[in-house]
Structure 1
Amino acid sequence: MNVKFNQKTHILEIEYQFRDVEEPNLFRNIYPYNEVPRLVFNHRIVPMNVPERLYITDTTFRDGQQSRSPYTVEQICRIYDYLHELDNGSGVILHTEFFVYSKQDKEAVLKCLEKGYDFPKVTAWIRAKKEDFEIVKNLGIKETGILVSCSDYHIFKKLKMTRSQALKQYLEIVSSALEAGIIPRCHFEDITRADFYGFVLPFINELMKLSKEAKMPVKIRACDTLGLGSPIPGVALPRSVPQIIYGIVNYGEVPSEWLEWHGHNDFYKAVINSTMAWLYGASMVNTSLLGIGERTGNTPLEAMVMEYIQIRGTADGMNVAVISEIADYFKKEIGYEIPPMTPFVGDNFNATRAGIHADGLMKDEEIYNIFDTGKILGRPPKVIIDAYSGIAGIVIWINRYFKDNGIDLQVDKKDPRVQKVKEWVDSQYQSGRNTSISDDELKEVVKEVFGI
């Protein structure tokens, strides 16, 4: 057993050794494949280690395009503008990444670079091939992601290599990036199914050596490719997000500012896993707008803006209201259907159908609204009118309609005109209707009853 003095913790610690293996370690006790994956516990609890600075990074133009039709150059440029407006000079939205292979990819990159924005920075994503660095270098991009798959599922089954062969190839590629003066961001694909102590940490140790020699950062992106990571304390590796992040920072001696988490939502844990990555030592969490990404999607960028504010107690200058503008753009200009119950951006995220909730909102919206969504997101709470909205829901809807249309009139439940509107609503459902009343329908009824 080798030991070394850890420059991070300032004590002697075990030096984790690279392990080459003849057969892949597929962690069948955790991932049987013919059954749902298992959560195995080792009861190891690691301490939180929140970095001084927290950042949000974006993959809307890379992973976000792998699950939908490609964006046009014009759409990419407009979305990039929105990201810049959301960041608002704060530097929190640190960078976004682009494909660089097609003519359209390159045109989009160049147009976004021409904008001269400090944030988010334009970065690339390339394959682990030397010729790809020439593309990045010619475009004038200073940082690029490089795919370095780290689980035996990928090394043995996809790449058809041994661990030693993969390690050799990866280190050569990273060296090429450093020689070209480009900051490499190593994407440790499938880290939640990888041999952490036998491959991941020894690989990271070699990368940190290259970094010191080149006097340039070598960044690490820990990729939860299948969304298998778990935030639960005491869960064993390779699924434990706290242990992965803690291990990379403390045993790999990777500065928090060089460490990023990239999660997927296959088990509904994209947001909480990203938050845990922040809390346990990663400065950066990678996201996509509206969570659009492969399969169940990536961590939604807008969700991490809200997580950031909750952790820090401030937006640090971000213009949070731009989130609503982004959602409107995706719906109206791109034609993307946002599920209505989606937090912060869905049509119904701060809407109620229940009469008892509507009555509470009418007395004080703070009773049933998560925060002042009107002030912060430009989206005040609303009601959806159906058979269960009650007269309170109708009053709120009518008063909101008057306000939105500049009409100086507010009504209450005792107004006989409101009673007439409710009678019309009731008649719809007495006749067998089973859908909610649309805003356009209700507008016409209100206009007629109120003589507007």
Structure 2
Amino acid sequence: MLEFNEKTNLLERTELVYPLQDVSEPNLYRNLFSYEEIPKIAFNHRHVPINMPKEIWITDTTFRDGQQSRQPYTTEQIVHLFDLLHKLSGPKGIIRQSEFFLYSKKDRDAVYKCLERGYEFPEVTSWIRASKKDFEMVKEIGLKETGILVSCSDYHIFYKMHMTRKQAIDHYLAIVKECMETGVRPRCHLEDITRADFYGFVVPFVYELMKLSEETGIPVKIRACDTMGYGVTFPGATLPRSVPGIIYGLLHHARVPSELIEWHGHNDFYRAVNNASTAWLYGASGVNCSLLGIGERTGNCPLEAMVIEYAQFRGTTDGMDTTVITEIAEYFEKEIGYHIPPMTPFVGKNFNVTRAGIHADGLLKNEEIYNIFDTEKLLNRPCRVAISNTSGLAGVAHWINAYFGLRGDKALDKRDEIVVKVKEWVDAQYDEGRVTVITDEELEEVTLKVAKDLNRTLE
């Protein structure tokens, strides 16, 4: 069948029907996933076109997937983080939705309190088990959308659910229909899509979901879940690991519009951010993330990373308040007690701190030389230098002013007595044979002691 694509202005062949391949034995892709070996990346050199949607956005799973790998958040913590997500999202609602568990009283209390905020964005949605009782709970609370787990690889269908592919599709469609009957929009989470038989199961199943959506007038979202982080972005890589191939197939063969496609990826192979960005590039409007990337095993795609990716793709933040990223990081560390690895981009304590002596010298002369962007303006995080025996008075003064947030008239000159005495302490350390960089903790302690001895305050 040929159809005219208004986006490419070309006649394109479209296959509207891929029949279900109801195999008797599971397809485990043992040529790619031999459990005793590191998974293989194979290529068939088939390329699909970049197809960036008109609109792209971020959705949040901090209070769902993010709670599966750590001590549960308190109700107060959830509400505060939800407020920060709203503030970060900006007037255009780039952070479109946030999903919640509903099973404990604490989680339900948090949902009610977040709903009371009256925010348009992020919209509060849920994640539930596939049962009529749970659907009724969603309806009772007043939520308009919920996620439903629909595992799609033969690993899950045969070994976890003990079903055939046909039985799994029948089961899933019945669940989705029940959800629709309660007046709730279904969001189908295609678990383990990067190990699934894409044309033998995923496309025929999703196409049935699209037909159901057309019949009822109720949109059905498709969340492509890279549950194990197997997705790759290399041009010409084969399915089921190809992120471009998956998104293209959902759009072109399963006929899912971009606004109903969402990518959810894990970071097992260090690819969470790249895979999410690629999903955007090839036609998914939504990418699902969690704050700081906290989630199952190695975690999800960090939400703050995709805020920065959005700005890089669009050339604008579209009103997002990126300084909130630092507020979120500080809240996690100071109030929740979560330790952020110091080298973590955008949120780690040392992400914009230079330790190399030659870099520090360049940074002191012009911070653009070694700072990725104006981190003080965009993240409320001025760049800093680490102090060593080559830092000099100017380096020590720069560190103190940046670390303690001293600006304008409150900033210390390199000739200030506090700076001089801290520099004398640093020199003494290296005179005694030290070879490592002075840590922030040591400098903080020494600087505060010097200020106290001089009856000075650093504020």
1:179, 1:103 → 2: CA distance?
Answer: 26
Q: For residue 416 of structure 1, report the CA deviation from its aligned partner.
A: 9.6
The one-letter amino acid paired with 2:14 is E
Q: Give the 3 Å change call, closer, same or farther, for CA 228–389 of structure 1 in structure 2.
A: farther
Q: Which residue of 1 aligns with 2:98?
A: 96
Query: Are 1:422 and 2:426 matched, yes or no?
Result: no
Distance in 2 between residues matched to 1:261 and 1:422, nearest whole Å: 51
Cα deviation for residue 376 of structure 1 reads: 0.7
Gaps of 5+ in 1: none
Shift of 1:417: 8.0
Match of 2:304 in 1: 302
- Partner residue, 1:80: 82
Question: Is the alpha carbon distance of 1:409 and 1:13 closer, same or farther for their aligned partners in structure 2, counting shifts above 3 Å?
Answer: closer
Q: Give the 3 Å change call, closer, same or farther, for CA 88–143 of structure 1 in structure 2.
A: same
Flag structure 2 segments of 5+ consecutive residues without an equivalent. Answer: none
Tell me what 1:24 maps to.
26
Assess, with a 3 A threshold, how the Cα gap between structure 1 residues 167 and 264 changes in structure 2: closer, same or farther.
same
CA distance in 2 between counterparts of 1:290 and 1:242 reads: 25
TM-score relative to the length of structure 2: 0.92
SS of 1:28 mapped into structure 2: coil
Q: Please tell me the residue identity of whatever aligns with 1:162.
A: T
**Residue 436 in structure 1 maps to residue 442 in structure 2:** no
Alpha-carbon separation, structure 1, partners of 2:402 and 2:32:
53
C-alpha distance in 2 between matches for 1:401 and 1:271: 29
Equivalent in 275, 278, 281 of residue 283 of structure 2: 281
Going from structure 1 to structure 2, the CA distance change for 1:417 and 1:92 (only over 3 Å counts) comes to closer
Q: Say which SS state the counterpart of residue 338 (structure 2) adopts.
A: coil
The structure-2 alpha-carbon separation of the partners of 1:139 and 1:318, relative to structure 1 and needing over 3 Å to count, comes to same
Distance across 2 between alignment mates of 1:286 and 1:403: 34
Q: What is the rounded CA distance, in whole Å, between the counterparts of 1:374 and 1:332 in structure 2? A: 20
Q: Closer, same or farther in 2 for the Cα pair 1:402/1:128, shift >3 Å?
A: closer
Give the corresponding residue for 1:333. Answer: 335
What is the aligned-residue RMSD (CA, Å)?
A: 2.2
Does the aligned pair in 2 maintain the 1:359–1:392 contact within 8 Å?
no
CA distance in 1 between counterparts of 2:418 and 2:59 reads: 52
TM superposition shift of 1:12? 4.7
- Report the more deviating stretch, 11-20 or 328-337: 11-20
Partner of 1:235: 237
Q: TM-score, normalised by structure 1?
A: 0.94
- Tell which deviates more after alignment, 355-364 or 189-198: 355-364
The answer on 1:42 being equivalent to 2:44 is yes
**Structure 2: distance between partners of 1:128 and 1:374:** 46
Q: Give the share of equivalent positions with the same residue, in percent.
A: 62
Give the Cα separation in 2 of the matches to 1:203 and 1:155: 13
Distance 1:187 1:110, change over 3 A: same
In structure 2, do the counterparts of structure 1 residues 408 and 416 end up closer, same or farther at CA, with 3 Å as the change threshold?
closer
- Residues 58, 289 of structure 2: 8 Å contact kept: yes
**Distance change in 2, residues 1:178/1:422 (3 Å):** same
- Structure 1 equivalent of residue 138 of structure 2: 136
Distance of 1:307 and 1:175 partners within structure 2: 36
User: Once the 2 structures are TM-superposed, how far is the Cα of residue 442 of structure 1 from its aligned partner?
Assistant: 3.7
1:346 is aligned to 348
**Distance of aligned partners of 1:448 and 1:11 in 2 relative to their CA distance in 1, 3 Å threshold:** closer
Q: Are the aligned partners of 2:248 and 2:283 in contact in 1 as well (CA < 8 Å)? A: yes
Match of 1:112 in 2: 114
Task: List, as ranges, runs of 4+ consecutive aligned residues in structure 1 with deviation greater than 4 Å.
Answer: 4-12, 387-392, 405-410, 414-420, 432-435, 448-452
Query: Could you tell me how far apart the structure 2 residues matched to 1:409 and 1:378 are?
Result: 17
Distance 2:119 2:448 in 1: 46
C-alpha distance in structure 2 between counterparts of 1:124 and 1:418, whole Å: 54
Q: Deviations over 1:231-250 (max 9, x none)?
A: 11111000000010011011
Change (3 A) 1:449 1:393: farther
Instruction: Say whether residues 1:179 and 2:181 are aligned partners.
Output: yes
Larger mean Cα displacement after TM superposition, 199-208 or 388-397? 388-397
Report if aligned partners of 2:422, 2:447 keep a CA contact under 8 Å in 1.
no
* Whole-Å separation in 2 of the counterparts to 1:403 and 1:169: 58
How many residues of Structure 1 are paired with residues of Structure 2 in the alignment?
Answer: 448
Shift of 1:188: 0.2
Letter in structure 1 aligned against 2:428: S
Name the aligned partner's letter for residue 439 of structure 1.
L
Partner of 2:395: 393
Partner secondary structure for residue 261 of structure 1: strand
> For the Cα contact (< 8 Å) 1:421–1:445, is it kept in 2?
no
1:293 aligns to 2:295 (yes or no) = yes
Q: How big is the shift at 1:162? A: 0.7
Match of 1:245 in 2: 247
Which whole-Å deviations, capped at 9, do the CAs of 1:400-433 have from their partners, x for residues lacking one? Answer: 4686176556535x88986664342132234355
Contact 1:354 1:389 survives alignment (8 Å): no
Is the 2:418–2:447 Cα contact (8 Å) retained in structure 1?
no
Q: 1:274 to 1:356 in 2, by over 3 A?
A: same
| 1:93-144 CA distance string (max 9 Å, x none) | 0000001111112111111111111000000001222221111111100000
Corresponding position of 1:221:
223
Q: Residues 355 and 391 of structure 1 are in contact (CA less than 8 Å); yes or no, is this contact kept in structure 2?
A: no
Report SS of the residue matched to 1:108: helix
Aligned partner letter, 2:451: K
CA–CA distance in 1 between the matches of 2:334 and 2:267?
26
Q: Relative to structure 1, is the Cα distance of residues 11 and 329 closer, same or farther in structure 2, using a 3 angstrom cutoff?
A: same
Question: Could you give the per-residue CA deviations for residues 7-42 of structure 1, whole angstroms, max 9, x where no partner exists?
Answer: 868655333111001110000000001000000001
Gap change, CA 1:427 and 1:448, over 3 Å in 2: farther
Secondary structure class of the residue paired with 2:439: coil
Distance 1:399 1:337, change over 3 A: closer
The question of whether the paired residues in 1 share the 8 Å contact of 2:63 and 2:78 is answered with: yes
* SS at 1:385 equivalent: coil
